[in-house]
Every structure is written in structure tokens, then in C-alpha cells.
Amino acid sequence: MDLVVNKVNLNGMIDVPSDKSISHRSIMFGAIAQGKTTIKNFLRGDDCLSTLKAFKDLGVKIEDDGETITVYGTGFSGLKQAKQAIDVGNSGTTIRLIMGILAGAPFTSQLFGDHSIAKRPMNRVMLPINQMGAKCSGHDGTEFPPLTVEGTEKLQPINYQMPVASAQVKSAILFAALQAQGESVVVEKEKTRDHTEDMIRQFGGEISVSGKEIRISGPQKLVGQEVIVPGDISSAAFFLVAGLIIADSRIVLNNVGLNPTRTGIIDVIEQMGGKLTIEETGSMANKAGTLTVETSELKGIEISGEIIPRLIDELPIIALLATQAEGITIIRDAEELKVKETNRIDAVANELNKMGANIEPTDDGLIIHGKTPLHSAKVTSYGDHRIGMMLQIAALLVKDGTVELEKAEAISVSYPRFFDDLNKLYR
């Protein structure tokens, strides 16, 4: 499809979609808890709907009246063997986290997804889950989906030093540990988003976190709750960047989740000199706020180390931000980008360079030379929603010609109304 180019400015207020990570987990926790869970402000994007359908396939009654989703939890023990293989679509969160839940089930499950999922490595989850006594295996002896998960009611606790900084891997282990006999200890490589830990507490569970060390004993029973999902900072990121780099712009974003393990992009914007104000709202469990950004003069910085897990999903749009900053921006320690929906290191460099950027891919990140004007080109999302949205924001910087985006439909995975919200801001 042809993307919008050369709009004069962006001004206005929007409500970004609900948090994707919390939406996924709200269904999962509702299913494994005892009793009724109600979920408001659920993200009805393709990925989260894949999670919803997966638990329906596992025998959980779930109702959706268009405003509130009601999950009638069965507890871990009430899950039923699916009548067919479970389709996770494009959702890496679904397939990885559900492995931990199914590890303690007294039946065997098959999991598969689209062509992108079939290329995503699963050993990082399979290895610790298998150490706990389940039997997880990939296609033809590989680590890639389709997967088979042979659960066991005799899961053993684990003491696990995580080799990668991954909230998905951590969460899968914690779901399994909730069902294991005894105390599990998980030590993170770097601290990652902690929605799973927060929601264990919210649903009545017990978990201890000290720095990068997490302790959790099982088996535990959880109790249904009301969940109100805040806005997704990963979706807000595209408009935060747009407001900073498009001339004469001011954008207000309402109800954006501000969990400290997810706000790395705010730190980066402030370090680069961006004009950003925050008015905090929400509860202690679900911190949120109103964010306002304005067109800014930006400078290049280095982004590396412990901040990377706090902005891993935002790095494609941060790379675009860096193309409009004076000087060099260096992104390091981001090897995880290679195993997302696509290899995002290569995808970002390839597509933005087509448009005139000067970006060097490295083994663990990017070197971005700014400030560079962008021009028209034919680009692709590679079927990756975040690459697709980043390229539309990039297209707004193009003064003449057309930017044609292949595989634009991937954007519906996390932000079905993205183009509608963008249209609201044109002035």
C-alpha cells in the first residue's frame, strides 16, 4: 500500500491501544485462576486474539461482549486437551508462555503458528521446561515450531540462571514453577518487563523478587480478578517519535502504561534532548500517565546494557528517531532483535537505508549516522508489525514522491487502527 508522505505537522490527542503484554497475560491468568476474571480495555489485535482462542481450545469458557471479556477460570487442573493442534498465529508471546502453562498438564499438546513463528527459536524455553520434567520438542528434532509439549503433573522446581534477557522465557518458567513441587529460583541476565510477577501477586499468588533473583514456590492456586489494561507504551512509541521528528508537531497520548521495566524509550528521549512531559495517573499495580511530545532538536547517544530489555520492542522506532538526531547513535547489546518477528537489526538497516538513512548493522545492534533526510522508496515490513509502523512514521519525513509498503497488513497484529489514529493528527 502507499503510505502517507509530506504532511505539514501532527497535532492532537489519541488513545493508544491497550497494552499487548498485559492483554496476553490477563487471558492466561484468568484461565489458570479459580473463578471469574473480568478484563476491560483488552487489546483485540490478532496476537492477543490468538491467546484467547488458544485457551478456548483448552476448554476454558471465555465470553466477550465487545467491552468486557469474562474468563471463567478452571485452575491449572481444569485445562482440557485441545481437540486439535493449537494455532498461535504470529504470536511469540502466546507460544512461549503457553509452553510453561502446558508443562504441568497431564496431556500432550501441539503448537504451531505462521511462517514467522516457524523460524523463531524455542530452545530457550524448551531447555528449562524439560529440566523441570516436561517433554518439549520441535519439528523434526529441531528447536523450531511446530512444537509438542508433553506435560507432567510432577513438575520439579528449578534453579535457573537465564542465558538471555527475555521476559517471555522468564514468564514461561514462572508459569511452570507455579505448578512445581517446591521452590524455584530464576536469576535474570538483565531485568526485563515484570508484568508476570505483578500479575502473580494480583491474582493472589506469592513471589519474591530481589534485584535480578526471583523466588517462587509451588504448587499455588490463583483467584480470579478484575483487570483493567492500560495503554501500550510500545504502540505509543510510534507517535512519541512522530511528535518529536515531524516539524511543528505536538501530540498528547492518554493512558499510557508506565511500568518501570517498560519505560526505556522515555529515558532515551530525555537523553536525546526530546521535549516530553508526563502526567502520571493509574494505580500502583498498573501505572499509567498522559504523555505529551513536541518537535525537538535531538542529539545522538549510546544505548546499551541494562536499558535494552526495557525498550527492546521500541528499538526499530528509536532507530528512526536517531536518523533525525545530530551525530551518531550507537545501539549495542541488542542481539535479541534477531529473533523477533524478523531479524529487526537487518530489517531496520535495510529498509531505512533504502529511504536515504545511513545505518550500519552490527552483530548486536546498529550504528546510526544523523541527521539524514529521507526520500521515497519501495519498502517492506517483512510481515513484522513494528517494522511496518516504523516505516509509516519514516514516510512522513519524505517531501516528494511515494513510499510503497509491502505487507502492510502485519500492522493489525498489535495496532489495528494505526492508520486511523494517524489520520486524526493531520493538520
Annotated binding site for 3-phosphoshikimate: 20-21, 25, 166, 168, 313, 340
Residue 203 CB contacts under 8 Å (≥ 6 apart), including other chains:
29, 33, 222, 223, 224, 225
Q: Which residues pair with 69 in a beta bridge?
A: 39, 64
> What is the grid cell recorded at 32?
489458570
The DSSP line for 328-386 is EEEE-S-GGGGGSSS-HHHHHHHHHHHTT-EEEEETTEEEEEE------EEEE-TT-HH
Residue 416 CB contacts under 8 Å (≥ 6 apart), including other chains:
17, 44, 45, 46
For residue 198, give Cα distances in angstroms to 29, 62, 190, 261, 303: 11, 23, 17, 11, 27
Question: CA-CA distance, 231 to 333, in Å (whole number)?
Answer: 27
| φ, ψ (nearest 5 deg) of residue 258 | -125, 35
* H-state helical runs in 13-166: 20-32, 46-57, 92-102, 123-131
Question: CA-CA distance, 256 to 278, in Å (whole number)?
Answer: 10
Angle 245-247-248 from CA coordinates, rounded to 5°: 120
> What is the grid cell recorded at 108?
500432550
Residue list, annotated binding site for phosphoenolpyruvate: 20, 92, 120, 168, 344, 386
Scored b (16 or more CB within 10 A) or e, 400-414 reads: eeebebebbebbbbb
Question: CA-CA distance, 145 to 139, in Å (whole number)?
Answer: 6
| φ, ψ (nearest 5 deg) of residue 144 | -110, 150
Dihedral class, residue 118 (left if φ above 0, else alpha if ψ from -120 to 50, else beta): alpha
Task: Examine the residue annotation and report whether 313 is marked as an active-site residue of this protein.
Answer: yes
Q: Given 19, 313, 384, 421, which residue is catalytic?
A: 313
The total number of residues shown for the chain amounts to 427
Residue list, annotated binding site: 20-21, 25, 92, 120, 166, 168, 313, 340, 344, 386
Q: Which helix (H) or strand (E) holds 426?
A: none
Give the torsion sign (CA, 72, 75, 77, 82).
positive
List residues with catalytic annotation: 313
